[in-house]
A and B are shown apart, each in its own frame.
Chain A
Amino acid sequence: MSRSAKTSGTLKHLSPELLEPNPENPRIVFRQEEMESLMISIDNFGIQVPLTVYIDNGRYFLLDGERRWRCAKKLNLETVPALVQPKPSEFDNLVLMYNIHALREQWDYYTIASKLERVISLFEEEHDRHPTEIDLSELTGLSRGAIRRCYLLIDLPNEFKVQILEELNLPKSQQKLSEDFFIEMERSLKTVCARLPQYSGSVGEIREVLIQKFKDKIIPAVTDFRQLSKMATAIEGLKIPETHVVSALDRIFTSNTYSIKKGFDEAVSFEYEEKKVSRYAFSLIEFFEDIEPKGNLSHIDKDLISALKQLHRQLGAFLSEKGQA
């Protein structure tokens, strides 16, 4: 089917009973709260945008509008407006699903990832090669970042995929092990294993420990996993001895009570602070180097001068203590 066919079609008014969901629709989770809002809107104003369907052996399959269709059925509407299009190929159908839906609203990544694998395999059949991130981005309309996140979920062991699906069925407020949790955890483990390959063989056990600690709130936020990545990259970036970092990581990956934050604080936090202060110092030097030739020193704010005087005193004391004054 050509891409232009997306907007054409014959408008009909069909009974919702004649319609069936699209077997390729990656959207598998419908949250009641969102559905009820749509249902109320349809109850008040009707269906303003026609559904899009294709016909196959006398049966209509949805291309666009499964949520509207479900609400129409719940409200026992006699008919729904629908644009009828020719049947697309499986590949076109899948790609169309992404282009129609994913760009319109925020989908759960698991939803996107679940069908992206099929898009990849159909692409390979058609082109005899694995699609690049750019290929997938152009086909599906997803950003490359979104595709990378999907890959993290696709690579998860099946048991965790089941867990994500169970969580997604809950209202957002009740979700504990969210997709974000798995994406952040996987991304950090990938960084750790790339820098310290000795952990690659035990990723399964490490996940179990981290999940448990997250459930027990020993790891209070999904963003804590970024500190794991920073610990691993500090070996090269901050020249911290590998044994020092590995010792902290070992405790994080085995102990049920040792938090990521504690490991980060003990192993690399000070060095990261040093690096930050060093950046401030260079930035200060650059500032004075920049304004001095322009003769702008007399315009410096009184508060800044007062802060600089205090800094000068503290630096003098610190450096003389170090014998470097």
Chain B
Amino acid sequence: MSDMGIVAGGDRLRDAAVGFLKQKYHGAKIAVETSIHKDLRWSPTLYFKASPHLIHAYEVSDTLYPEIFRIRRNDLADFDMPISAYAICAEERFLADQKGAQELFKHGFGLLTVDADSVCLEQRGCIPLMQRISEDQFKSELAGIPTSLKRRMSDAFDLYGKNAPAGVTQLSEIIEGLILQAGRDAAKKTWISNNQAQPGKPAVTLDAFIASQQMKDTAAVAGGVRSHIAQYRNTSHHFPKNAKQAALKYRDCRHGFLDGVKQVKLFAAAMKAKGLSGKIPTI
């Protein structure tokens, strides 16, 4: 392949990355210096479809953070197509510029490095930019949540950074745990029956809260949580039928996760206000 990008001598990095990606993604068909879509003002060095609805795009760069990423970051986040964007640079650049690497990762990009023997390595995976939630945004949403819950939610956030639908699902499980514990606490107080506080039946528990005399003032919060679970509980299992649906699903992940964090906060606070623990069950 001849070098037609904007980096002289980038062909060694590109060829090493192509070999690595073909092996990792089982002979994926990789396009070189080709446009992904006419409306996206970036032709990456390499790209391929990791699934019918997810594109992995790569930019060979002499620096850790290619300038095209800076000028197209917002476009990628708004684009109606889930695209995970990676930089490819020499390993020595990565080792010499950890600050640059942290900035790249913080902004939601992944990184492949190529060493002097042309061995390629994935230093950091990433999710499509349309799903990205910044760490600062996540942390600001955590204020006021009990520490034990924060820890569990941070785990979910880490998972979200690698696999967004799985992160949303994990957060939904935390919410279900909260509902289960609240149900058990309420059953102990005989506000609802034991049958209404069973694992795997969050909707039954929430409906019982709404019907209960003692908890009817939590109806709004319970309703919000109920609707969140209905929408996002099985996010990772819904297969999109087309690119538009895929974009919606991927973008929904972001909404789902942020909404989930808000629901946890509201629900835990409401349960505490009712004299319940507002925590998740200990296993």
Q: Which residues of A contact B (CB under 8 A)?
A: 21, 28-33, 35-36, 39-40, 43, 70-71, 73-78, 166, 168-169, 171
Contacts and interface: CB of A to CB of B under 8 A. Distances in A.
Contacts of A70: 4-6
Given A32-B6, A43-B71, A70-B5, A76 B41 contact: yes
Given A74-B5, A169-B8, A39 B41 contact: no
B8 A74 contact: no
Most buried by B among A36, A40, A73: A36
Given A32-B62, A40-B67, A76 B6 contact: no
Contact of B41 (A30, A43, A171): A43
B163 interface: no
B67 A73 contact: no
Contact of B6 (A28, A39, A77, A78): A39
A77 B35 CA distance: 10
B41 A75 contact: yes
Nearest to B9: A169
A168 B41 CA distance: 29
Contacts of A35: 6-7
A74 B62 CA distance: 15
Interface residues of B, number: 20
Given A43-B41, A76-B38, A30 B71 contact: no
Interface of B: 4-9, 33, 35, 38, 40-43, 61-63, 66-68, 71
Contact of B42 (A75, A166, A171): A75
14 contacts: A28-B8, A36-B66, A36-B67, A36-B68, A39-B6, A39-B68, A70-B5, A73-B33, A74-B5, A74-B42, A76-B35, A76-B40, A76-B43, A78-B38
Nearest to A74: B6
Contacts of A29: 8
A40 B6 CA distance: 12
B41 to A, nearest CB: 5
Contacts of A30: 6-8
B5 to A, nearest CB: 7
A170 to B, nearest CB: 8
A73 B33 CA distance: 8
Contact of B7 (A32, A77, A78): A32
B218 to A, nearest CB: 52
Given A32-B61, A32-B62, A76-B41, A40 B8 contact: no
Contacts, number: 59
A182 B64 CA distance: 30
A136 to B, nearest CB: 26
Given A40-B67, A43-B41, A171 B5 contact: no
A70 B63 CA distance: 18
Contacts of B66: 36
Contacts of B68: 36, 39, 74-75
B3 to A, nearest CB: 9
Given A71-B6, A74-B5, A76-B41, 17 more contacts: A30-B7, A31-B62, A32-B61, A39-B67, A39-B68, A40-B67, A70-B4, A70-B5, A73-B43, A74-B6, A74-B68, A75-B41, A76-B42, A76-B43, A78-B38, A169-B8, A169-B9
A68 to B, nearest CB: 11
B90 to A, nearest CB: 10
Most buried by B among A21, A32, A77, A169: A32
Contact of A73 (B4, B9, B61): B4
B182 to A, nearest CB: 52
A70 B61 CA distance: 14
B71 A40 contact: yes
Most buried by B among A31, A70, A74, A166: A74
B72 to A, nearest CB: 9
A168 B8 CA distance: 9
A32 B88 CA distance: 14
A323 to B, nearest CB: 65
Nearest to B39: A76
A70 B68 CA distance: 13
A154 B43 CA distance: 37
A76 B62 CA distance: 20
Contacts of B8: 28-32, 168-169
A318 B71 CA distance: 72
Contacts of B43: 73-76
Contacts of A171: 62
Nearest to B6: A35
B84 to A, nearest CB: 18
B66 to A, nearest CB: 8
Nearest to B62: A32
A172 to B, nearest CB: 12
Contacts of B7: 30, 32, 35
Contacts of A39: 6, 67-68, 71
Contacts of A169: 8-9
